[in-house]
C-alpha cells in the first residue's frame, strides 16, 4: 500500500489517538481520577464534553485549557498511550513530529525538541540536557529515564521552546512533563495484558482506593519483555531485547481542607542483553589502505555474518549488558494559601548503570571489555506559589538541585588489537602481546549544584490582551575530575610520556591522563516575554521572545593531551546563549469540532556545546567545547477533526530548517579523516591521502533533524453488542513519516539516513463497562529503516548502526473498574 493510499484510508475511516494542542482526550478507560494540582476535582469536572477546549494541562503550573495556553503543547492521554503502544519516549516520538529520540543504549541517548537539546551521539556527564524530563513535577537529570516504560501515567505534555521561568531546571529546547494517575478516594483499578510476536509480553496493573477518610493510596506495576531483534551467531542469543520492570506507589493525605500531601516512590529496572550496533557498510577514509576495514579483516581472514544489516545478524564477541536501574522518593505538598496555592516538591533519586559493550563492533577480539558503570544520586527541592490578583495571576518560586555522579570505566584490549590498531609497517603490529590485556581504568566524578529563583506574571491588560513577562536567576557550581590509569597486560603502568617503543604504541591506543577538581561556576539570567490576544472565544494569537541559556560544563570524557600533559584549559565549556522567537495561533471552528494550531519559530544558539577539534593545539582527539552558532527555524501545524462521536482524525506536521551557522573547528567526517598531515588535502574517501586537522562545517545540517516530518491518523467506531456486551467496534490507524536526516555530528556521505514512513493499525472492541480488546500491528508494511548510524573508532571506514524494529503484531486485553 502506498503512502497516498494510506492517507486516503485515514481520511475515510479513522479517528484521533493523539491530542496535539487540544485534540480529544475524553474517552476514558479509567474511573474518574483527580486532576494534577486539583486534587479535589475529578476528570469528569474538567472534561465534561468531547470538544478540544476541555483538555486540561498544567504546563504553567495551574490547571488550564490547552487552547488558552500561549505555549505550543502536545498532549497525549492514557487511552492514546495504550492504544498506540506508546509505552516510552521512543514510541511517543513517533506521534510528535518535532520530538526526536535517539539511543544506542540508555546512557548514550538524547531527547531533542525541534532538533535541539543534546547533540546526537554526544554523552558527557559534565553537561546538562537541553530538554527537561519531569515526572510528577520532579526533574530527572539523566536521559536514561526516557528509555523506561511509562508507569501508571495519566497524560504526557510536551512543551516546545525554552522553559525555566515557570518551574524546575532551566531547559533551552523544551520539556516533557509526565503526570501519573493520583491516588483516588473511589476504589478503582485497571489491568492490561499484551502478547505479540518476537515473544512480546507486557502487563500493566494499578489499583487505588481509600485507606481512611483522609488517606488514599495507589499502586502500579508494569513489565515488558521481548526477544531481541538481532541474532548473535557467536553466542546463539538474540540481542537488543527488552526486559523492563517498573513499580510505583503513592499515598495522598488530605491533612486539612487546604493541605494535601502526596508521598510517592518508584523503582524501575531494565536488564536486557543489549546493545549491539551491527555492520552497515564500509565507507573509505583517508587512512592508508592497509589500515582500513577491508585490509584489516582480510589479514585475519574475517568476514561479518552478513553485509546486509536487515538480515539482523552479528557476531560480536564481547559481553553485552545494559542494566539500568532508576528510582526514588518524593513528597509533594499543596497548600491553599491566600489567593493561591503554595507547592513544595522534595525528591531524592538514584541511577545505577551497569553496562558492557563491544566497542570494536566485530567478532574479532580487539576490544574485549568496554564499560562505564555509573552511580548517581540526585536531590531536588522546589517551592512555588501560584497566585491570583485583580487582573493578573503569577507564579514565583525557588529551585535547588544537587547531583553526585561517580563513574568507574574500564576498557581492555584483546589479542587482535595490535594487528588492528598499530600501523602494519611497524613490526610491533605482528606482536599480539603489545596490546593484549592493555587496560584503561577510568575514575570520573562530578558534584553538580544548581539553584534558581524564577517568576512569571500574566497581566490581563484587557479581556482580550495579556502580557506575560518571566525571569530566572540561576547559579551553577560544578566540580569534576577525570583520571585514566593505563596498564599493560602484565600490570605495568604505561607512562604519560616517553617510555619504550611498545609503550608509545600502547599510549597511542589508550592515553593515560588525569585532572582533578576542575570547577565551573557562573550566574546566569533568563527572561522571556509573551503577548497573547484573543480576538474571539476560539482564537488565540501569541508571540514570544525568550533569552535563555544552557549551563556551562566540564569535559569529563578527557581533554586533549600534548606531550603527555593534559590540556586542562579545555576542561571547562562555556554556556550556550539562546535567543528564541515564536509566533503562534490556536484556533477552533465548526462548533469546536475542528482544531488548528500553527506555530512559527526561530532559535539561534551561540557557543553551541559540541565536539570540536583545535588544530592550533595539535589536538589528536575530539573534545567538548563551543561551536560558534547554530540556527533552527521552522513551522509546525497541528490539526484535529471530530465531526461526530464516530469519527475523528488528526494530522500534525513540521518543516524545520537547521544549520551550523558558524562551526569552523569541527571534527571531520570519516571521508576526510585518518590521513596524513600536509598542505595538500586529499579527495574525500581516498585512502593514503592527507586529512585536515579540523573541518569547517558552517552551513551544514545539524544531526538528527529532518526537514519534513508528519504524523497522521485517527479512529472510526460503530456501536455494537458482542457476547451480550454493549460497546463499540473501532478501527484505528496512526502513521508517521520523515525526510532524510544526518546521523553524524559532522554530516558525512556515509551516515545520512533516508526518510521513511511507519504505519500502525489496530482493530478492537471496547465495552461500556471498561473492557477493551484489540489486535494491533506496528510497522505494518515492514519498512526497513535505521534509527542511528555511527562511525566507529580508528578511521577504518566501518559504519555501524541500529536497525529499526521490523513488523510486530499482537493483541491487548484491558479491564478497568
3-816: CATH superfamily: TonB-dependent receptor, beta-barrel domain (2.40.170.20)
Report the distance separating Cα 545 and Cα 604, nearest Å: 12
Report the distance separating Cα 541 and Cα 315, nearest Å: 56
Is residue 5 pLDDT above 60, yes or no? no
- What are the pLDDT digits (tens) for 349-404? 999 999 999 989 999 999 999 998 999 999 999 999 999 999 999 999 999 999 99
pTM (two decimals): 0.90
Is residue 7 pLDDT above 50, yes or no? no
| Cell numbers representing residue 457 in the block | 506574571
Alpha helices in 482-612 (DSSP H): 501-509
Is residue 146 pLDDT above 90, yes or no? no
Which bin fits 387, alpha (ψ -120 to 50), beta or left (φ > 0)? Answer: beta
Cβ-based neighbours of 4, under 8 Å, separated by 6 or more: none
- What are the pLDDT digits (tens) for 437-454? 999 999 999 999 999 999
- What would the mean pLDDT of 426-440 be, rounded to a whole number? 97
Q: What pLDDT is recorded for position 44?
A: 35
Report the distance separating Cα 748 and Cα 274, nearest Å: 27
Report the distance separating Cα 788 and Cα 361, nearest Å: 14
Is residue 261 pLDDT above 50, yes or no? yes
Q: What pLDDT is recorded for position 121?
A: 62
Question: Which residues, listed in sequence order, are joined to residue 596 by a DSSP beta bridge?
Answer: 587, 639
- What would the mean pLDDT of 592-617 be, rounded to a whole number? 85
Q: What pLDDT is recorded for position 54?
A: 62
Cβ-based neighbours of 644, under 8 Å, separated by 6 or more: none
- What would the mean pLDDT of 51-62 be, rounded to a whole number? 64
Measured CA to CA in angstroms, residue 56 lies from 35, 53, 614, 676 at distances of 8, 8, 50, 61
**More confident of the two residues 163 and 474:** 474
Q: What pLDDT is recorded for position 50?
A: 37
The residue to which cell 493520583 is assigned = 182
When mean pLDDT is compared across 489-503, 512-526, 570-584, 611-625, the lowest value belongs to: 611-625
Domain ranges for the chain, please list them: 3-816
Q: What pLDDT is recorded for position 387?
A: 95
- What would the mean pLDDT of 636-659 be, rounded to a whole number? 96
Q: What pLDDT is recorded for position 473?
A: 97
Let me know: does 759 contact 768? Beta carbons within 8 Å: no
Q: What pLDDT is recorded for position 6?
A: 35
Q: What pLDDT is recorded for position 35?
A: 33
Length of the chain: 817
- What would the mean pLDDT of 201-207 be, rounded to a whole number? 97
Q: What pLDDT is recorded for position 95?
A: 85
Query: What percent of the chain clears pLDDT 70, i.e. is strictly above it?
Result: 91
Average pLDDT, the chain: 89
Report the distance separating Cα 350 and Cα 662, nearest Å: 38
Q: What pLDDT is recorded for position 33?
A: 33
| 612 band by pLDDT with thresholds 50, 70 and 90 | confident
Residue whose C-alpha is closest to residue 545's, from 524, 562, 530: 530
When mean pLDDT is compared across 118-122, 164-168, 439-443, the lowest value belongs to: 118-122
Amino acid at each position: 500500500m502506498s503512502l497516498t493510499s494510506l492517507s486516503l484510508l485515514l481520511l475515510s475511516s479513522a479517528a484521533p489517538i493523539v491530542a496535539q494542542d487540544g485534540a480529544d482526550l475524553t474517552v476514558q478507560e479509567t474511573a474518574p481520577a483527580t486532576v494534577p494540582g486539583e486534587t479535589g476535582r475529578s476528570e469528569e469536572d474538567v472534561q465534561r464534553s468531547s470538544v478540544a477546549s476541555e483538555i486540561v494541562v498544567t504546563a504553567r503550573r495551574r490547571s488550564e485549557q490547552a487552547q488558552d495556553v500561549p505555549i505550543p503543547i502536545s498532549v497525549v492521554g492514557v487511552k492514546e498511550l495504550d492504544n498506540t503502544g506508546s509505552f516510552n519516549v521512543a514510541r511517543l516520538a513517533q506521534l510528535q513530529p518535532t520530538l526526536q529520540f535517539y539511543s544506542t543504549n540508555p546512557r548514550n541517548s538524547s531527547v531533542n525538541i525541534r532538533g535541539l537539546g543534546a547533540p546526537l551521539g554526544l554523552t558527557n556527564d559534565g553537561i546538562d540536557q537541553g530538554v527537561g524530563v519531569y515526572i510528577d513535577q520532579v526533574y530527572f537529570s539523566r536521559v536514561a529515564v526516557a528509555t523506561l516504560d511509562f508507569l501508571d501515567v495519566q497524560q504526557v505534555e510536551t512543551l516546545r521552546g525554552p522553559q525555566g521561568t515557570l518551574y524546575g531546571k532551566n531547559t533551552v529546547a523544551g520539556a516533557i512533563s509526565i503526570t501519573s494517575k493520583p491516588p483516588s478516594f473511589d476504589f478503582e483499578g485497571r489491568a492490561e495484558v499484551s502478547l505479540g510476536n518476537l515473544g512480546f509480553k507486557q502487563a500493566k496493573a494499578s489499583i487505588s482506593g481509600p485507606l481512611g477518610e483522609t488517606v488514599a493510596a495507589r499502586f502500579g506495576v508494569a513489565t515488558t519483555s521481548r526477544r531481541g531483534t538481532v541474532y548473535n551467531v557467536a553466542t546463539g542469543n538474540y540481542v537488543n531485547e527488552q526486559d523492563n520492570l517498573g513499580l510505583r506507589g503513592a499515598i495522598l493525605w488530605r491533612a486539612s481542607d487546604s493541605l494535601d500531601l502526596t508521598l510517592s516512590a518508584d523503582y524501575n529496572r531494565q536488564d536486557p542483553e543489549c546493545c549491539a550496533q551491527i555492520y552497515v557498510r564500509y565507507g573509505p577514509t583517508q587512512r592508508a589502505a592497509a589500515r582500513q576495514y577491508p585490509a584489516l579483516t582480510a589479514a585475519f581472514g574475517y568476514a561479518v555474518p552478513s553485509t546486509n544489516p536487515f538480515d539482523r545478524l552479528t557476531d560480536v564477541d564481547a559481553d553485552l549488558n545494559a542494566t539500568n536501574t532508576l528510582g526514588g522518593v518524593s513528597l509533594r505538598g499543596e497548600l491553599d494559601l491566600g489567593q493561591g496555592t503554595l507547592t513544595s516538591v522534595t525528591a531524592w533519586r538514584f541511577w545505577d548503570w551497569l553496562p558492557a559493550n563491544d566497542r570494536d563492533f566485530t567478532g574479532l577480539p580487539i576490544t574485549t571489555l568496554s564499560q562505564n558503570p555509573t552511580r548517581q544520586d540526585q536531590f531536588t527541592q522546589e517551592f512555588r506559589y501560584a497566585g491570583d490578583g485583580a487582573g493578573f495571576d503569577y507564579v514565583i518560586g525557588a529551585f535547588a538541585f544537587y547531583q553526585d555522579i561517580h563513574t568507574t570505566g574500564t576498557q581492555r584490549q584483546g589479542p587482535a588489537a595490535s594487528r588492528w590498531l598499530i600501523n602494519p609497517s611497524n613490526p610491533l603490529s605482528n606482536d599480539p602481546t603489545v596490546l593484549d590485556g592493555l587496560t584503561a581504568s577510568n575514575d570520573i566524578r562530578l558534584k553538580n549544584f544548581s539553584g534558581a529563583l524564577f517568576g512569571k506574571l500574566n497581566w490581563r491588560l484587557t479581556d482580550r490582551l495579556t502580557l506575560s513577562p518571566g525571569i530566572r536567576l540561576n547559579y551553577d557550581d560544578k566540580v569534576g575530575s577525570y583520571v585514566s590509569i593505563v596498564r599493560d597486560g602484565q600490570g605495568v603502568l604505561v607512562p604519560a610520556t616517553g617510555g619504550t617503543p611498545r609503550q608509545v604504541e600502547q599510549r597511542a591506543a589508550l592515553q593515560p591522563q588525569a585532572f582533578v577538581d576542575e570547577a565551573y561556576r557562573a550566574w546566569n539570567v533568563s527572561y522571556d516575554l509573551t503577548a497573547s490576544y484573543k480576538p474571539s472565544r476560539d482564537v488565540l494569537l501569541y508571540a514570544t521572545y525568550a533569552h535563555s541559556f544552557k549551563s556551562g560544563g566540564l569535559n569529563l570524557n578527557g581533554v586533549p593531551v600534548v606531550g603527555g600533559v593534559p590540556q586542562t584549559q579545555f576542561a571547562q565549556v562555556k554556556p550556550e546563549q539562546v535567543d528564541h522567537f515564536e509566533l503562534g495561533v490556536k484556533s477552533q471552528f465548526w462548533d469546536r469540532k475542528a482544531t488548528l494550531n500553527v506555530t512559527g519559530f526561530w532559535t539561534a544558539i551561540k557557543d553551541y556545546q559540541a565536539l570540536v577539534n583545535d588544530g592550533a593545539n595539535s589536538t589528536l582527539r575530539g573534545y567538548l567545547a563551543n561551536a560558534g552558532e547554530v540556527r533552527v527555524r521552522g513551522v509546525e501545524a497541528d490539526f484535529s477533526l471530530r465531526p461526530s462521536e464516530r469519527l475523528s482524525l488528526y494530522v500534525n506536521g513540521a518543516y524545520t530548517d537547521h544549520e551550523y551557522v558558524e562551526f569552523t573547528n569541527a571534527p571531520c567526517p570519516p571521508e576526510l579523516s585518518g590521513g596524513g598531515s600536509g598542505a595538500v588535502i586529499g579527495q574525500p574517501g581516498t585512502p593514503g591521502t592527507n586529512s585536515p586537522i579540523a573541518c569547517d562545517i558552517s552551513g551544514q545540517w545539524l544531526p538528527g533533524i529532518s526537514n519534513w516530518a508528519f504524523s497522521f491518523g485517527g479512529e472510526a467506531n460503530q456501536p455494537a453488542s458482542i457476547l451480550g456486551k454493549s460497546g463499540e467496534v473501532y478501527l484505528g490507524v496512526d502513521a508517521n513519516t520523515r525526510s532524510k536526516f544526518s546521523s553524524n555530528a559532522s554530516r558525512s556521505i556515509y551516515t545520512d539516513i533516508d526518510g521513511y514512513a511507519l504505519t500502525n493499525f489496530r482493530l478492537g472492541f471496547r465495552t461500556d463497562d471498561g473492557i477493551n480488546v484489540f489486535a494491533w500491528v506496528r510497522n505494518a508494511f515492514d519498512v526497513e529503516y535505521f534509527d542511528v548510524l555511527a562511525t566507529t573508532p580508528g578511521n577504518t571506514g566501518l559504519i555501524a548502526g541500529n536497525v529499526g524494529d521490523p513488523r510486530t503484531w499482537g493483541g491487548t486485553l484491558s479491564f478497568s473498574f
